Amino acid sequence: MVTRIPPNFTDIQTARSMSRGVVNVIGVVIDSLPPARSQGTSWISTFTLKASDFGDEYLTGLKIRYFHDVDRYLPSPKVGDVVLLRHINLDLYNGKTIGLSRSSRVTPWVVFEARPTQRSTLSTVLCPGERPPSAAETKYAGYLVGLYRGDGSRPSIAPASPAINVERSVSMPSSIQPTTRKADKFRLVKDAEYGSFVDIVGQVVKTFSEYEKLLLYVTDYTQNKNLFDYSFDNDGRDGDEFDYSSRSKRKWPGPYGRMTIQVTLWEPHSNFARDNIKEDDFVLLRNVHIKPGRSSGVMEGALHTDRQFHAKVGVSLLDVNEGDERLKGLVRRKLEYWRKLKGRLAIEDGKRQLSDGEGSGKKTKKNKRQRKNKPQRVNNQAEATTTSVRPKRDELNPHVRSNYLATPTRTVEQILQNESHWNVGPGGIQYRMPFQNLKYRASVRVVDFFPPNLEDFAVPYNPEYAMLRDTVDGSDLSDSDEEPIIGQQIWEWRFCLLVEDGGPGIHHPPGQRRQRLKLFVTGPDAVFLLSIDPVNLRKNPDVLASLREKLFILWGDLEERKNSNSEMFNPNDTAAINAKPFTCCIKEYGVRVAFDCADENDENDDADENDENHQETSNSFCWERRFRMFDTRVM
C-alpha cells in the first residue's frame, strides 16, 4: 500500500523541476561522498536523493550539497539511508536544480540509517538541535526503505539519537530490562519553580549576544509572579545582567507584565542559536535550569553545556506547520492576548501599528486612480501580438508544457464522470465516493479566472492562523475579518482558472458549450507554473508586469477583454474565446467544509453534480471535490 508523503514536504520530482525556492524533502540516498573540506574554510557533504524509480538509471535524483563551517553539523549518510531535510534551498547549477545549505546556518536534517545487518530496524541520527521526526515522517521513511529494497518490508524506527560519534546499540539482550521512560520535563512558564530543570516551548521576543553566551528572552504567554515585570513604558533589559554594556536600549515589544523569561545559553547552545534563531521564532529549550538572577533577583533560566555529551544542543527551532500541540496552545494564548490588548496598544503611537491607519483609505483611492490612469503598455503589447498572430482554435500551445507525457489525456467530462468513484458496499448497495486522490492529464483552454484583478493573485498567509484553522478554539481566530494582529506573514499564489476542453481531436456539436472545470492554482504548483515567487503585487509593479506576460501566454487576451468591460464580459461567448489550448496535469482531492456550505451555489455551471461532489458526515461536515493544476509550466 502506498504511503503518502508527510505534510509540508515536496516530492523529489517536483523539487527537481523547480529552479529555486525553499522546500522540505525526504528521499533515499543513491550515491554519497564522505564529508570533506571545501575549497574555502567550510565543510561539505554531497549526496543524491530519490523517492521512486530506483531501478531506472536514466532518471537522476536531487543532488544535495550540504555546507557548514563546523563538521559535526554535517550529515554523513550512506547509500540506502533515508535523509530528511527541512528548509533546504534550491538553486540552478550547470543547468540542473540542486539543494544547497548555507555554511553559516544549520539546515535541519534527520538520517534514517538502513544497514544490511539491521533489516528490521532503522537507527535515527538527528542534526544537533533538531527535534525528533514526526510519526508521519517516520512512517514514510520506513516506506521508502522498503521501496528501495524492493521487498516491500517496512523496518521499525529505533529511538532518535543526537549526531555524536558514539556507538548505538540496535538490540537489547532479553536478560536486560528496558529502562523506564523519562519523565516529561515540559512546563509552562507559569509553572516553573526555582531549582527545577524544565523544557520550555516559547517564542523569542528578543536576543542579545555577548562573547561565549547568548541571552534569549522567551515567552509562552503565561504569567509567573517571579519574572521581571515589563510595562508599556519599559525599555527592556538589553545587555548583560550587571549592566556593564553601554548598548542603547530598545522599546520593549511585548508581551507586557510577567510573561517573559530570560534564558542564558552557553556553548554549544549559544553557537547554534546565534546562527539559527532570530526574534519571533518558536523554539524548544530542553533542560533549562530555573534559578534567580545574580543581580536582579528575578527568575531566569540557564542552559549549560551537557557534562556527558559536550556537543549536544538543547535548542530546537519549531515549525508552525508541524502541528505540535504545545505550540498550538502557545499560539492560541498569543492571539488571545494581543486581541484583548489591541485597543490599548493602538493608543501608543508608533508602538505597534495594529489598527488601520487613517490614511489607508486615501492611499487605496490614490492607488486606484494611479492604476486607472496608468498606460496599459503590457496590454497594448498583448493586443498587438494577438492581432498579428491569430492561431487555429484547437492548435496546442507550444509554450506551455507538462510532465507525465506517457499518460493519455482525458476530457473534462471523463474527469468529472469518472466511473472509479462508484463503489458497491456490503449488501450490494451502490454509492459514489465524494472524491478520490487521482491525477489526470487534459487538454484545456482558459475561459475565465478568479479573482478578477491580477494584483489579488498573491495573498498574505499567516502560518500561525493556519495552524489553528482546523481546531475548534482557533476557528474564530482564523476566520476573523480583522487583519492579523502580529506574527510573520508570507505571500502565496492563490487563484482559480475556469477551463474547458480544447485541443486537436476533441469534437463538440456546434452551438453547445463544452464541459468546464475549476482549476485551483496555488503553492509550489503555482511557482512551478509561473517561475515567479509570490510577493505583494501592489508594491512590486515589475513582478506584476512579469506575471501579466506569463498569463498572456496562458490565456491570450482574456484579461484585456474582461477588464475592458466587466459588465459585458461573457465567458460563454465561444466566438470571443481565442486562447490556445494547452496540456496540463490535474490532481483531484477533497476539502472538508462545513455542511451548510455545501448547499450554497458555487456559481459553477457544472453544479449538477452537487449530490456527487458532497457527502454529509456525522460531524456536520462534508467533502467538497476539487481539482488543482500541477507539474505544468509556462516556458
pLDDT in tens, 84-127: 999 898 888 777 889 998 877 788 999 998 766 555 567 888 88
* pLDDT (mean) for 11-29: 87
Distance, CA of 461 to chain centre = 10
Across 74-83, 131-140, 526-535, 587-596, least confident range: 587-596
pLDDT attached to residue 615: 46
| CA distance linking residue 80 with residue 338, whole number of Å | 49
Residue 167 pLDDT: 33
d(CA 368, CA 365): 5
* Eight-class DSSP state of 195: T
Q: What pLDDT is recorded for position 84? A: 94
Q: Examine the pLDDT at 585 and tell me if it is beyond 90.
A: yes
Indicate if the pLDDT at residue 476 is higher than 50.
no
Return d(Cα 156, Cα 285) in angstroms, integer: 28
CA-wise closest residue to 258 among 290, 297, 298, 295: 298
The answer to whether the CB of 82 falls within 8 A of the CB of 112 is yes
Confidence at residue 72, expressed as pLDDT on a 0 to 100 scale: 83
- What is the percent of the chain with per-residue pLDDT over 70, rounded to a whole number? 70
Number of helical H runs and strand E runs in the chain: 13, 24
More confident residue, 297 or 598: 297
What are 258-269's pLDDT values in tens digits?
A: 999 999 998 888
Lowest mean pLDDT: which of 11-20, 301-310, 315-324? 315-324
**Three-state DSSP string of 84-104:** EEEEEEEEEECCEEEEECCCC
Query: Phi, psi at residue 617, to the nearest 5°?
Result: -115, 170
Q: Tell me what pLDDT residue 344 has.
A: 65
Per-residue pLDDT at 352: 47
Of 492, 483, 477, 470, nearest to 537 by C-alpha is 492
Given this model, what pLDDT does residue 183 score? 62
Give residue for cell 539519537. Answer: 161
| pLDDT classification of 469: cutoffs 50, 70, 90 | low
Model pLDDT, residue 357: 53
Query: Terminus-to-terminus CA distance in the chain, angstroms?
Result: 36
286-306: pLDDT as tens digits? 999 998 887 778 899 999 888
Residue 429 vs residue 290, higher pLDDT: 290
Q: pTM of this prediction? A: 0.46
Strand 516-522 relative to strand 490-501: parallel, antiparallel, unpaired?
A: antiparallel
Give mean pLDDT, residues 466-480.
51
- For residue 547, give the C-alpha cell: 506575471
Q: Indicate if the pLDDT at residue 140 is higher than 70.
A: yes
Count other C-beta atoms under 10 Å from residue 94's C-beta: 5
Q: What is the mean pLDDT of residues 476-494?
A: 60
Question: How far apart are the C-alpha atoms of 131 and 327, rounded to whole Å?
Answer: 13
Question: According to the model, what pLDDT value does residue 601 have?
Answer: 43
Q: How far is CA 432 from CA 102, 419, 421, 610, 612, in A?
A: 50, 9, 5, 12, 7
* pLDDT, mean of residues 53-66: 72
Top pLDDT among 484 and 193 is at: 193
User: Do residues 438 and 408 touch, judged by C-beta distance below 8 A?
Assistant: no
Average pLDDT over residues 196-223: 90
Mean pLDDT of the chain: 76
Q: Which DSSP state fits 608? A: G
Q: What is the pLDDT of residue 152?
A: 52
For residues 344 and 130, the model is more confident at 130
Domains detected in the chain: 12-162 (2.40.50.140), 189-328 (2.40.50.140), 389-634 (2.40.50.140)
To 10 degrees, the CA torsion angle through 15, 556, 503, 406?
-10
Statement: residue 175 has pLDDT above 50: no
CB-based contacts of 290, cutoff 8 Å, min separation 6: 192, 193, 194, 195, 196, 197, 198, 299, 300, 301
Who contacts 104 (Cβ-Cβ below 8 Å, separation ≥6)? 69, 275
- Structure confidence at residue 157 as a pLDDT band (50, 70, 90): low
